[in-house]
Amino acid sequence: MKTLFGLTTLCSLFALVPASEASTGYPFYGDPPDATHPWAVHDWNRPQPPRVEPQPYDAVKAKAPTGAVVLFDGSAESLSANWEADQNGHEPTKWVMKDGAMECTPGSGYIRTKETFGDCQLHVEWSAPTKVQGESQGRGNSGVFLMGLVEIQVLDNYNNPTYADGFACSVYGVKPPLANALRPPGEFQSEDITFHRPIYQDGKCTQPGWVTVYCNGVLVQDRAQLEGGTGHMVRAKPGPMPETGPLKLQDHGNPVRYRNIWYRPLPSQAPAGGYNGPMTAEAAAVKRKEIAADIRAAAAKLANPEKPMAEFYRLAESLYYDKDQAILTKVEQTASQYVINLKLLSTEQLTAKKDEAKHLRDVLKYLARWQVIDADFSAKTGLDQIIKDQNWDKRN
């Protein structure tokens, strides 16, 4: 949220100092350093990102994969179907179509998607005006606002220093990009973003939010931790975010163009039932019960009193996801009966069962190792004895 006042103040004060002084720092502006942030917000003493030359644009790689939600395909229909003015009500945007791109009409306001979404892989392409005008934050400024709350800065920094945390592909006011991999103004920049909102439970952050950004194929944000929604001149304040929000693009007074915008929704982070590291014990227990229930449903379809072992193996497998006394009893009874039957066989019949019996032995050994069954379970020790007596473990 760059207020006109803030921008005007910055620009007018820069006009008062020589360029050499401006490049070494402009103090007394954003929130000052604090215990965990050694730089002020928008601190010119923070190093500029190093230059990295990107590869040329790759139209094939930039195409939406199957299953992606296309938010803008370069057509006027796509613009009107998916986007609206970011204001009360649902008014069409005043941004305009130009050569297969949508262009910000300065002064018309932000634009937002009609659809809302949360965690995602997002692809956006943008281009700063070919005609270079303005300096620092005044040159080709716009922004990609994830969920309408977190700005990934859009700015023409091709040959244009600015405060590092306001650089193109910065998490605005929070985290400068790792590199300046921009193409010249007028060319399209490809931005690929992975976004995870923070997870709060009972008012506590149990999993921070993260954002990863590739600019023209170059990694520029490497799982940067989100400290909350971004703002201008102020520290981001940690706090919960809604589950979804609209994607917004900023009108910062420059005719920046966008094209080829798509996203893939991503599962939420653990512990909200997602992935990425261990779940909480509660979430894992719920998931384990679900998996066990699926396996037991599959086992039920294999039930056959004449051939009980197919069902047996699936039921036994389900036990290490979820302990269940009735199923354990059934598994133990089936194993016990199998071993009793083995003992009734002739030597020849028994030999024909060698591989099957050894497989059951391995399964019982595994289950005992992980305390699903007791190590001295009688069917297990009985089977071990048969295999020993038959010398079946001997290598030929």
Q: In the complex, which residues of this chain contact Mg ion (CB under 5 A)?
A: 141, 143, 250, 252
Provide, rounded to whole angstroms, the least separation between the CB of residue 145 and Mg ion: 9
- Would the CA dihedral through 112, 117, 118, 119 be positive or negative? negative
Tallying the residues shown for the chain, one arrives at 396
Nearest to Mg ion of 93, 142 (CB atom): 142
Cβ atoms of residues 49 and 180 within 8 Å: yes
Provide, rounded to whole angstroms, the least separation between the CB of residue 166 and Mg ion: 8
Provide, rounded to whole angstroms, the least separation between the CB of residue 200 and Mg ion: 27
Nearest to Mg ion of 139, 252 (CB atom): 252
**Which alpha helices (DSSP H) does the chain contain, by range?**
4-14, 19-24, 59-62, 76-82, 281-300, 309-319, 325-343, 347-352, 354-369, 378-389
Provide, rounded to whole angstroms, the least separation between the CB of residue 122 and Mg ion: 16
Token pair for 385:
């004895």
Nearest to Mg ion of 166, 271 (CB atom): 166
How far is the C-alpha of 105 from the C-alpha of 113, rounded, in Å? 17
In degrees and rounded to multiples of 5, residue 210 shows phi and psi of -140, 150
Provide, rounded to whole angstroms, the least separation between the CB of residue 163 and Mg ion: 12
- Quick check: helix, strand or coil at residue 385? helix
Within 13 A of 375's CA, how many CA atoms are on the CB side?
2
Nearest to Mg ion of 207, 250 (CB atom): 250
Provide, rounded to whole angstroms, the least separation between the CB of residue 313 and Mg ion: 59
How far is the C-alpha of 206 from the C-alpha of 274, rounded, in Å? 13
Nearest to Mg ion of 141, 160 (CB atom): 141
Helix (H) or strand (E) holding 263: strand 257-265
The residues facing 34 across adjacent strands are: 37
Nearest to Mg ion of 189, 250 (CB atom): 250
| Residue with the two structure tokens 């919960």 | 240
- Quick check: helix, strand or coil at residue 361? helix
Nearest residue relative to Mg ion (C-beta): 143
Nearest to Mg ion of 151, 317 (CB atom): 151
166 DSSP 8-state letter:
G
Provide, rounded to whole angstroms, the least separation between the CB of residue 16 and Mg ion: 24
How far is the C-alpha of 6 from the C-alpha of 142, rounded, in Å? 16
Taking phi over 0 as left and psi of -120 to 50 as alpha, with beta for the rest, 249 belongs to beta
- Strands, DSSP E only, in 35-80? 69-72
Provide, rounded to whole angstroms, the least separation between the CB of residue 137 and Mg ion: 7
Within 13 A of 38's CA, how many CA atoms are on the CB side?
3
Provide, rounded to whole angstroms, the least separation between the CB of residue 259 and Mg ion: 18
User: What torsion, rounded to 10 degrees, do the Cα atoms 65, 68, 72, 77 define?
Assistant: 110
Cβ atoms of residues 249 and 148 within 8 Å: no
Nearest to Mg ion of 141, 207 (CB atom): 141
Nearest to Mg ion of 3, 55 (CB atom): 3
